[in-house]
């Protein structure tokens, strides 16, 4: 959710219209069994789960436009319509299906994707999925199938024409290899006497639609599917970016595009896949108690700090290990010591003025920076780093972009500290500390201003506070102002700067335990 929200806010920063969908996938055997175990009706069980995720999204300041629930009436109707179209086109047929089935993954696995393992609690040999490690059971039943095998060549052709469709690159290669190895037809229903919790197959109450066909349609549903002729893109379809975890790549990057091709609908333009968070180097698991309470973490560190940490340290290619010690270290060594400290030193300087520096230095021509104090910093950092950050975000790599922003801030802080403007102040010119000081303060202010704009998708509240401290007008906080000299109107703070810790961007943490 955080990664997707960052990408949405980035588009808004660029002046684009952007819609974000998140939500809960509520049908299937896993939910049916979990609700039965809890002694609660499935819908009430899902209502509780959806409420928790809505609360979490609000607490993490996720600016979603649609919270999808696959139990929604309009979603059910869209799934039934998609089924009707697929059947009309001849892509659905009935057949007996046998195979290894995972309730946890809601998926059948071919023999090549399973292996025997020892179950630690019981010591018994059990069949598990190689991909997810989930336990499997042998199932034999008659149900409906989707002609997935017919889409091997169309999918490979699409991948060839869109070689960077899946990000990171390695997962694109994995998907291509999987499809090249062959596609069997996909079981897309379950007998309703075994799976009651789901959308029934139209005109056949004995079968329930497979949860992944059901769930995947939600993206199109919230974009207005089925569309009236001529209005196919009115709701934003196709998505510019589809964000998923690495464990569901097969469903979203093989099954989903095949369904869309069969329905003659455009495919998402990009799919960003991310790795997982581990705890102590091992997979998080409720059964073992190895979990992190996100509400507690948000209460302890605040949404801005948590969003920064998740985006900066979270892995796209490889898993990352979650640790409160890492969050505290990030807060102290970067957010407080670099960004917060720089903001305080620049905006609270008693013997210089940010506004005065902007007025006196901001309108200098480009050649002014060819030599003199800070000329290398101006050319190599202020001018060259922001476009690299923009490129990373436009390439759907918010982690790389944030690490570039952090380096940009460190460079600005280092340049300011090494330049020592407090030693260069001219005592005989009250209110005008001298050109060297103005140059140094102006460059540091520009670094902070540009960083503040670029940090808005990551830390909306702290970025706003920083830009308020600098006195940047609300209308000048967009991408077009992310270059030196683009804004000459700022410099007078619009909020009180306060005392020692009051109004400080990142005050000392109350506890580091």
Q: Is residue 206 part of a domain?
A: no
Q: Which residues share a beta bridge with 279?
A: 282, 322
The DSSP string of 242-291 is EEEEGGGHHIIIIIHHHHHHHTT-PPPS-EEEE--EEETTEE-BTTTTB-
- Report the pLDDT value the prediction gives residue 320, as an integer from 0 to 100: 96
Instruction: Please give the distance of CA 290 from its chain centroid, rounded to a whole number.
Output: 23
Quote the tokens at residue 446.
């520009």
Q: Is residue 439 part of a domain?
A: yes
**Does residue 511 carry a pLDDT above 60?**
no
In 3-state terms, what secondary structure has residue 67? strand
Quote the tokens at residue 218.
């939600």
For strands 166-167 and 271-274, give the pairing.
Answer: parallel
As a whole number, mean pLDDT of residues 92-97 equals 89
Q: Which residues share a beta bridge with 25?
A: none
Q: Residue 503: which region, alpha, beta or left (left: phi > 0; alpha: psi -120 to 50)?
A: left
**Does residue 318 carry a pLDDT above 50?**
yes
Q: What share of the chain is helix, strand, coil (3-state, %, to 5)?
A: 50, 15, 35
Q: Is residue 376 part of a domain?
A: yes
Range of the domain at 368: 335-481
Q: Is residue 357 part of a domain?
A: yes
User: What does DSSP assign to residue 116?
Assistant: E
In 3-state terms, what secondary structure has residue 337? helix
Q: Is residue 328 part of a domain?
A: no
Quote the tokens at residue 289.
């108690």
- Answer whether 75's CB lies under 8 Å from 69's CB: yes
- Answer whether 467's CB lies under 8 Å from 453's CB: yes
As a whole number, mean pLDDT of residues 143-163 equals 97
**Does residue 472 carry a pLDDT above 50?**
yes
User: How many of the other CB atoms lie within 10 Å of CB of 412?
Assistant: 26
Q: What is the mean pLDDT of the chain?
A: 92
> What's the rounded Cα separation, in Å, for the pair 376 and 335?
25
> What's the rounded Cα separation, in Å, for the pair 436 and 420?
10
- Answer whether 406's CB lies under 8 Å from 308's CB: no
In 3-state terms, what secondary structure has residue 202? coil
As a whole number, mean pLDDT of residues 154-168 equals 97
Q: Give the rounded percent of residues in the chain with a pLDDT score beyond 70.
A: 98
- Answer whether 506's CB lies under 8 Å from 331's CB: yes
- Report the pLDDT value the prediction gives residue 387, as an integer from 0 to 100: 97
- Answer whether 192's CB lies under 8 Å from 141's CB: no
Q: Is residue 171 part of a domain?
A: no
Q: Is residue 52 part of a domain?
A: no
- The better pLDDT of the pair 105, 242 is held by 242
- Report the pLDDT value the prediction gives residue 411, as an integer from 0 to 100: 97
Q: Which residues share a beta bridge with 201?
A: 204
Query: How many domains does the chain divide into?
Result: 1
**Does residue 501 carry a pLDDT above 70?**
no
- Report the pLDDT value the prediction gives residue 126, as an integer from 0 to 100: 86
* CATH classification at residue 358: 1.10.730.10
Virtual CA dihedral for 324, 326, 332, 335, nearest 10 degrees?
-100
The answer to whether the Cα torsion of 24, 27, 33, 36 is positive or negative is positive
User: Can you list the positions of beta strands (E) in 317-423?
Assistant: 320-322
As a whole number, mean pLDDT of residues 94-118 equals 81
Weakest mean pLDDT among 248-257, 305-314, 421-430, 474-483? 421-430
Please list, residue by residue across 279-294, b when 16 or more beta carbons sit within 10 angstroms of its beta carbon and e when fewer do.
beeeeeeeeeeeeeee
> What's the rounded Cα separation, in Å, for the pair 274 and 2?
12
User: How many of the other CB atoms lie within 10 Å of CB of 83?
Assistant: 23
Q: Is residue 14 part of a domain?
A: no
């Amino acid at each position: 959710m955080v990664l997707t929200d960052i990408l949405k806010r980035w588009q808004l920063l660029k002046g684009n219209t952007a819609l974000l969908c998140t939500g809960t996938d509520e049908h299937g055997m896993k939910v049916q069994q979990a609700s039965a175990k809890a002694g609660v009706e499935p819908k009430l069980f899902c209502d509780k789960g959806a409420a928790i995720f809505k609360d979490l999204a609000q607490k993490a300041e996720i600016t979603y436009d649609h919270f999808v629930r696959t139990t929604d009436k309009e979603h059910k109707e869209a799934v039934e319509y998609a089924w009707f179209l697929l059947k009309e086109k001849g892509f659905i047929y009935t057949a007996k299906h046998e195979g290894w089935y995972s309730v946890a993954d809601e998926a059948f696995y071919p023999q090549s994707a399973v292996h025997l393992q020892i179950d630690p609690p019981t010591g018994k040999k059990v069949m598990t999925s190689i991909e997810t490690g989930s336990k499997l059971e042998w199932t034999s039943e008659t149900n409906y199938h989707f002609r997935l095998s017919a889409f091997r060549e169309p999918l490979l052709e699409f991948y060839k024409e869109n070689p960077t469709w899946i990000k990171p690159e390695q997962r694109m290669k994995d998907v291509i290899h999987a499809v090249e190895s062959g596609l069997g037809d996909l079981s897309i229903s379950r007998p309703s006497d075994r799976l009651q919790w789901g959308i029934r197959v139209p005109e056949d109450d004995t079968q329930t639609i497979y949860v992944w066909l059901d769930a995947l349609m939600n993206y199109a549903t919230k974009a207005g599917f089925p569309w009236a002729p001529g209005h196919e893109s009115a709701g934003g379809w196709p998505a510019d970016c589809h964000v998923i975890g690495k464990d569901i790549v097969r469903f979203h990057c093989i099954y989903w595009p095949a369904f869309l091709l069969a329905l003659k609908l455009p495919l998402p333009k990009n799919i960003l896949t991310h790795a997982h968070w581990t705890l102590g180097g091992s997979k998080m698991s409720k059964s073992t108690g190895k979990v992190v309470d996100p509400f507690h973490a948000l209460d302890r560190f605040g949404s801005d700090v948590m969003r920064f940490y998740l985006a900066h340290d979270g892995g796209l290619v490889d898993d990352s290990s979650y640790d409160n010690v890492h969050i505290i270290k990030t807060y102290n060594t970067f957010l407080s010591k670099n960004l917060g400290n720089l903001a305080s030193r620049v905006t609270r300087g008693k013997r210089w003025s940010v506004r005065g520096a902007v007025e006196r230095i901001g309108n200098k021509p480009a050649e002014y920076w060819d030599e003199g104090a800070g000329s290398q910093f101006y050319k190599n950092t202020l001018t060259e780093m922001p476009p690299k950050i923009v490129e990373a975000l436009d390439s759907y790599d918010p982690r790389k972009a944030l690490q570039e922003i952090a380096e940009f801030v460190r460079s600005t802080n280092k340049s300011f500290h090494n330049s020592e403007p407090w030693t260069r102040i001219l005592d005989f010119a009250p209110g005008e500390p001298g050109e060297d000081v103005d140059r140094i303060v102006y460059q540091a202010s520009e670094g902070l201003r540009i960083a503040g704009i670029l940090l808005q998708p990551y830390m909306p509240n702290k970025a706003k506070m920083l830009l308020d401290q600098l006195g940047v007008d609300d209308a000048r906080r967009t991408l077009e102002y992310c270059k030196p000299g683009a804004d000459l109107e700022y410099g007078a703070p619009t909020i009180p700067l306060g005392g020692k810790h009051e109004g400080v961007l990142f005050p000392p943490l109350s506890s580091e335990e």
